[in-house]
Structure 1
Amino acid sequence: MQTSMIGAVYKNFLGHAPDWYKKTIIAFLLINPLLFQVDPYIAGWTLVIQFIFTLAMALKCYPLQPGGLLLIEAMFIGMTTPGHMMHEIEVNLEVVLLLVFMVAGIFFMKDLLMYLFTKLVIKVQNKLVLSLSFIFASAFLSAFLDALTVVAVIISVGLGFYSIYHKVASGKEFHSDHDHTSDTAVEDRQSDLENFRAFLRNLMMHSAVGTALGGVMTMVGEPQNLIIADKAGWSFVEFFIRMAPVTLPVFVFGLMTTVVLEKAKLFSYGAQLPETVRNILEDYNNHMDKGRSKRDTAKLLVQALIGVWLVVGLATHMASVGLIGLSVIVLATSTSGVIEEHAIGKAFEEALPFTALLCVFFGVVAVIIDQGLFQPVIHWVLSFEGETQMVMFYLANGVLSMVSDNVFVGSVYITEVTSALEAGQITRDQYDMLAVAINTGTNLPSVATPNGQAAFLFLLTSAIAPLLRLSYGRMVYMALPYTVVLTIVGLAATYLVLGDATQMLYDMHLIEHHSAAEAASGSASH
C-alpha cells in the first residue's frame, strides 16, 4: 500500500514532465544541502546553474515549479532568507507591476495591434524589409518604452497570426472557438505550418534583439539604465549623448546583421511566409474590413488614442510603468464594454505565471548576493587600470549578465564604481567612461541567453514559445550571431572610439567635463 502511494505521489510530481527530468530535479534537491555544508560558494553557483537548467527545459516543464522548489530548499538550508528575497522584489516592484498590468493592458488593445500588423505583413511582401521593420520598430519603441511592453505587443501579434492560420487550416471559420495547441486537425498542412512557425520565430527573435538595440540607448530603455543615470547624475539627453559613440555603431551593425542573416539564410533565418498562409491572412483582413461595424471602428479609434497615451505617458515618465498599464486596462475595458470579471481575468493569464517565475528569479539573485558569487570577478576587474579596466568592465558585465539578471549586475557594478570614485581611487572622467562600459556591457552581450534579459525570458516562457517550438537552445542558437556582432562592435567602440568621442563632445560642450578636483570636492560634499 505504501509503495503504491509513493508511486502515485511520484507520478503526480511535475505532472507529465519526462521521467529523466523528474529524477534530475530530485537529484538536485538531494545534492544541494550536502554541497552547501561542504562549500557554500560552490553550492551557490550550483544552484544558479540548476536554475538555468530549468529555464533551458522550459518546454518540458514550466520553470516556476522546479525553480521554486530549488529556491525554497535554498532558503531552508540558509543560502538566503525570505526577507532578502522580499527586499529584491520590493526593489523591482515596478517590473512586477509592469508585468501584472501592462501585459494585461496590451491584451485589451489586441484588436488595434492585429489591424495594424496584419496590414504590415500583407502589404510588405519582402521578408528582409519586413524583418528590418520589426527590428527597427522594436528598437525605437524600446528606447522610450520598456522592453517587456514591446515584447508583449509582439507576442500578442504573433499569437493572433498563429491562431488565425491554425483555425482556418483546421477547417473552421474566423470567428469560431478553436484549440490551437494541437496539430491533429492540420496534419495535412504540416509543411506550411512548420514554415509559418519558422517565419514567426524569425520575427520574434528580430524583435527581441531590437529591444536590446534600442533599450541600451536611453536612460528609460532598461531598469539598470535608470540606476546608472541616477548614480552618475546624467539627464536624459546627456545619457543618450554619452552612450552614442557605442550604441549608434552597434545599432547600425545590428541592422547589417539582420540583412546578412536574412539574405544568406543563416542560423534558421530567411524563412518565408507560405503563400497559403498569406492568402488566409488576406482573407482574414478582407473579412474584418467588410464586417467592421461603426462600433468596431470606434473601438479601434479609441484604442489608437489609448496607444498615444501609452507612448506619451511612458516616454515622459508621468507615472511608473505598472500604473500606466493599469490606466490602459481601465480605459480600454471601459470604452469597449468589457465589464464582466471573468472577461477581464483572461487578460492576466499570460502575465501572472511569468510574474511568479520572476519573483523566484529575484530569490536566486538574493542567493547570488548573500553567497558573494560575483565578488571575486568584481574585485578582479577593479584591479585593472586605464583602458584595460574599461574593457574588462564591459566583458565582465557581459559574461555575468548572460548568467544573471542584467539589472542586478548593472546595479552592483555602478555601486562599486561609485564607491571607488568617492574613495578617490578613480577620477570623475574615468567614472563616466566606466559607467558607459557598464551600461553597454549589461545590455548588449546579455542577448546571448534568455536569462540575461527579462524580455527574452518573457518570450521563452510565453504562450507562443511552445507553439513556435521556440526552446531555450533554439533562442540561444538564433541569438548567437547577434551576440557575437553586438559584443565585438560594442567592445571595439568602447576601446577605440569612446575616449576620443567623449573628448570631442567635451570640446563641443555637449556634455559636462568633470575634472578630478571637481570630483573630489563633489565626493567630499556628498
Structure 2
Amino acid sequence: MSVSLGNAFIKNFLGHAPDWYKIAIISFLIVNPIVFFMIDPFTAGWLLVIEFIFTLAMALKCYPLQPGGLLAIEAVAIGMTSAEQVKHELVANIEVLLLLVFMVAGIYFMKQLLLFIFTKILITIKNKALLSVAFCVTAAFLSAFLDALTVIAVIISVAIGFYSIYHKVASGKSQNTSHDHTSDEHLEELTRDDLENYRSFLRSLLMHSGVGTALGGVMTMVGEPQNLIIADQASWQFGEFIIRMLPVTLPVFICGLITCYMVEKLKWFDYGTELPVHVRKILEDFEEEERKKRTNLDKAKLIIQAFIAVWLIVGLALHLAAVGLIGLSVIILATAFCGVIEEHAMGKAFEEALPFTALLAVFFAIVAVIIDQQLFKPIIEAVLLLEGSQQTTMFYIANAVLSMVSDNVFVGTVYINEVKTALLEGTITRDQFDLLAVAINTGTNLPSVATPNGQAAFLFLLTSALAPLIRLSYGRMVYMALPYTIVLSIIGFLGIAFLLNPMTQMFYDLGWISHSIAEITTNSVSSGH
C-alpha cells in the first residue's frame, strides 16, 4: 500500500514509536523555543530537563538517543547552551567515554571465559537458593571490575543457550537439526509444564544477576559510568573509592545476599522455582558433550583470558593507566593471543557500547544546559543549608527518587557537578563534599533497581530477545525487583544516616584515606572546571 509523501515523513520520524509519542516529541520541540524566548530561560531549561527525563522513562517506546538528541540539538540552536560548553563537558568526561568504548569492547573478547564460569555454576550447584546467591555474587564481583551491561549480556547468552537446548530436545529434535525455540507448537502438555517451570527458574536467576550487577557496580569507580564521573570530580583513586563507599556498600551487599536467599527459600515475588529434573538431565548431557569437544585451542583461549582478567583487576586496582586505556589493552591482548585479528570480526565488539556512548554524549549536552541556566542551584543551596547527616540523607533521597524513573548516569552527573561547584565556590568543605559524593553514588546505584529505567543492565535485559521467551515483562520485572528495592534503599539510607560519617572518620584515623582541599582545587583549575 502506497503512502503520500507527507505521511512517509511522519512514518519515518522515530520509526516504530507510537503516534502519541511522536506527537509528544514534536510538541516539545515546538513549545521549548516559545517558553525560552517569551517566558523565561530558567523555566524553559527545567521544561527541557523534564522532557529529557520523559524520553528516558519511555525508553521501551523509543531508544532515548533520537528524541533526546533532537531536544539537545534544539537547546544548542536556540541558545540554552553552546556547542563549546557541550564540548567542554565531553572533554571533562573523556575517561567515561573511553570506558564505554574500549572496556565494554574488551570484555566482549573475554566472553568465552565468562560463559564457561556461569555454565559451570549453573550445572554444578543443585540447591536453588545457593545457586541464586552464587549467580548474584559472581555478577557482583564481575560488575565491580567490568561493565555491568557486558556481564548481564553474558548471562543472557548463557540463558538463551540453555533455553534453546532444552526447547529443541523437548520438541523431539536432535541437537544437530535446526529449530525455532520461540515457538511452542511442537511441545507436549507434560513438557509444557516443565518449560513453564524452566522459564520461571531462568527469570529468577536473571533478576538475581541483574541485582548483583548493582550490588557490585556501586562498590568501585569502574562499576558504573557515573561512578567514574564521581571519582574523577573527587580525585579519588580505585582503592580510595572502594574504602569511602564501604560504610554503605558493605552492609547493603550483605543484606542484598540475605534477601536473595530468603526470597528463594520463602518462594516470594515469583522466586523459588526449582530446575525441573528432566531439564537438568538434558543440560548436563549437553555440557558433557561440549567438554569432550573442547580442543586445545579452546583451552588455550580460556587460559589466556584468565590471565588477561588478572591483569585487568591488577591494572584497575593499582591505577596503572586510565580505565579506558586498560580496556584498550584488554582488546589488544585478547585479540592478539586468541586469534581474532580480522577487522570485521573486531567490529562486532563495539556494537553494544557505541549506542550508549552516543546517548551519554547527549546526557552531557543536557548537563551543559543545566550548568548554563543554573537550574539546580536553588535546590542545591536549599539542601546545603541543612546540617550533618540531614544533608547527606537528603542528597541520597533526591538521587534515589530521580534514579528510579530516570537514568542513573544522568542523575549522578548532574548532582556531582553541582556539588563540585559548591566546593570550588567555598560553600561546603572538602569533608562535606566527600560525604555528599558517597550519598550521590549510592543514591543513584541502589534504589534505581526499582525499575528498568534506572539501571541500564535491567533495561538491556528487558529489551533482549530472551525476555519474551521467559515471559519477563516490565510489570513482572518491577514486581520481582520490589524486595530488593525495599531492602537496598532502606539499608543504603541507614548507612548514609548512621554509619558513613563515623566510619569515614575511622578510616581517616587509620590513615587509609586522605585528601587535601588544595589538591582538588588545583586539579579543577588546571582542567578548566
More moved, 361-370 vs 422-431: 422-431
**Aligned partners of 1:224 and 1:410 also within 8 Å:** yes
1:49–1:137 Cα change, 3 Å: same
Amino acid aligned to 1:124: I
Is residue 350–residue 463 contact of structure 1 (8 Å, CA) maintained in 2? no
Q: Which runs of 5 or more structure 1 residues have no equivalent in the other structure?
A: none
Stretch of structure 1 that moved more, 227-236 or 212-221? 227-236
Partner-residue secondary structure (3-state), 1:273: coil
Cα distance, 1:299 vs. partner? 2.8
- In structure 2, the gaps of 5 or more residues are none
Match of 1:90 in 2: 91
| Shift in CA distance, 202/51, structure 1 to aligned 2, threshold 3 Å | farther
2:11 is the alignment partner of 1:4: no
User: Which of 254, 257, 262 is the aligned partner of 2:264?
Assistant: 262
Shift of 1:269: 3.1
Q: Report what 2:129 is aligned to.
A: 128
* 2:247 aligned partner: 245
Pick closer, same or farther for the CA change 1:18–1:88 going to 2, 3 Å.
Answer: same
User: Residues 99 and 268 from structure 1, CA distance in 2 versus in 1: closer, same or farther, beyond 3 angstroms?
Assistant: farther
For residues 379 and 237 of structure 1, the distance between their equivalents in structure 2, rounded to whole angstroms, comes to 31
Count of residues in Structure 1 that have an aligned counterpart in Structure 2 = 521
Cα distance change on mapping 1:269 and 1:16 into 2, 3 Å: same
Identify if the C-alpha distance between structure 1 residues 110 and 75 changes in structure 2 by more than 3 Å, giving closer, same or farther.
same
**Cα distance change on mapping 1:30 and 1:502 into 2, 3 Å:** closer
- Map residues 501-520 of structure 1 onto 2, 5 A cutoff: 501-505=503-507
Residue 289 of structure 1 and its aligned partner are, at CA, apart by 1.4
Q: Distance in 2 between matches of 1:92 and 1:524?
A: 18
Alpha carbons 2:104, 2:147 under 8 Å: kept: no
CA distance 1:148–1:332, shift in 2 (3 Å): same
SS of the residue 2:275 aligns to: coil
After TM superposition, list the pairs within 5 Å mapping 1:295-444 onto structure 2. 295-402=297-404, 406-407=408-409, 409-410=411-412, 413-414=415-416, 416-417=418-419, 420=422, 425-426=427-428, 429-444=431-446
1:286 Cα deviation after fit: 1.8
Counterparts of 2:434 and 2:442, CA distance in 1: 13
> Do residues 105 (structure 1) and 111 (structure 2) align?
no
Amino acid in the other structure paired with 2:311? W
Aligned mates of 1:125, 1:522 — CA distance in 2: 51
Q: Cα distance 1:199–1:417, how it changes in 2: closer, same or farther (>3 A)?
A: same
Q: CA deviation at 1:382?
A: 0.9
Give the structure 2 partner of residue 150 of structure 1. 151
Deviations 1:66-98 (A, max 9, x none): 443444444444444444333333333333333
Residues 44-123 of structure 1 aligned to structure 2 (within 5 Å): 44-123=45-124
C-alpha spacing 1:166/1:67, structure 2 compared with 1 (3 Å): farther
Q: Does 1:478 align with 2:480?
A: yes
- Contact 1:198–1:468 (8 Å) recurs in 2: yes
Q: Distance in 2 between matches of 1:40 and 1:349?
A: 38
Deviations 1:181-211 (A, max 9, x none): x537667676655554443343333223223
1:143 match: secondary structure: helix
CA apart distance, 1:259? 2.2
Shift of 1:340: 3.6
Kept after mapping to 2: 8 A contact 1:138/1:208: yes
Residue 208 of structure 1: SS of its match in structure 2?
helix
- Listed one character per residue, the Cα deviations across residues 102-159 of structure 1 (whole Å, up to 9, x for unaligned) are 3333333333332222121111122221221122122233334444453444344344
Is the CA contact (8 Å cut-off) linking 1:354 and 1:461 kept in structure 2? no
Q: CA deviation at 1:268?
A: 3.4
Q: Secondary structure at the match of 1:84?
A: helix
Paired residue type of 1:7: N
Cα gap change, 1:351 to 1:430, in 2 (>3 Å)? closer
* TM-score when normalising by structure 2: 0.81
TM-aligned CA deviation for residue 495 of structure 1: 1.9
Question: What's 1:493 paired with?
Answer: 495
The one of 207, 210, 213 equivalent to 1:211 is: 213
The code of the aligned residue for 1:138 comes to: A
Q: Supply the AA of the counterpart residue of 2:352.
A: E
Q: TM-score, normalised by structure 1?
A: 0.82
Aligned-partner SS, 2:386: coil
**Paired amino acid for 1:133:** A
Cα deviation, residue 285, structure 1: 0.8
Q: 8 Å contact 1:59–1:466 — kept in the other structure?
A: no
1:10 is aligned with what amino acid? I
What is the DSSP-based 3-state SS (H/G/I as helix, E as strand, rest coil) of the residue aligned with 1:111? Answer: helix
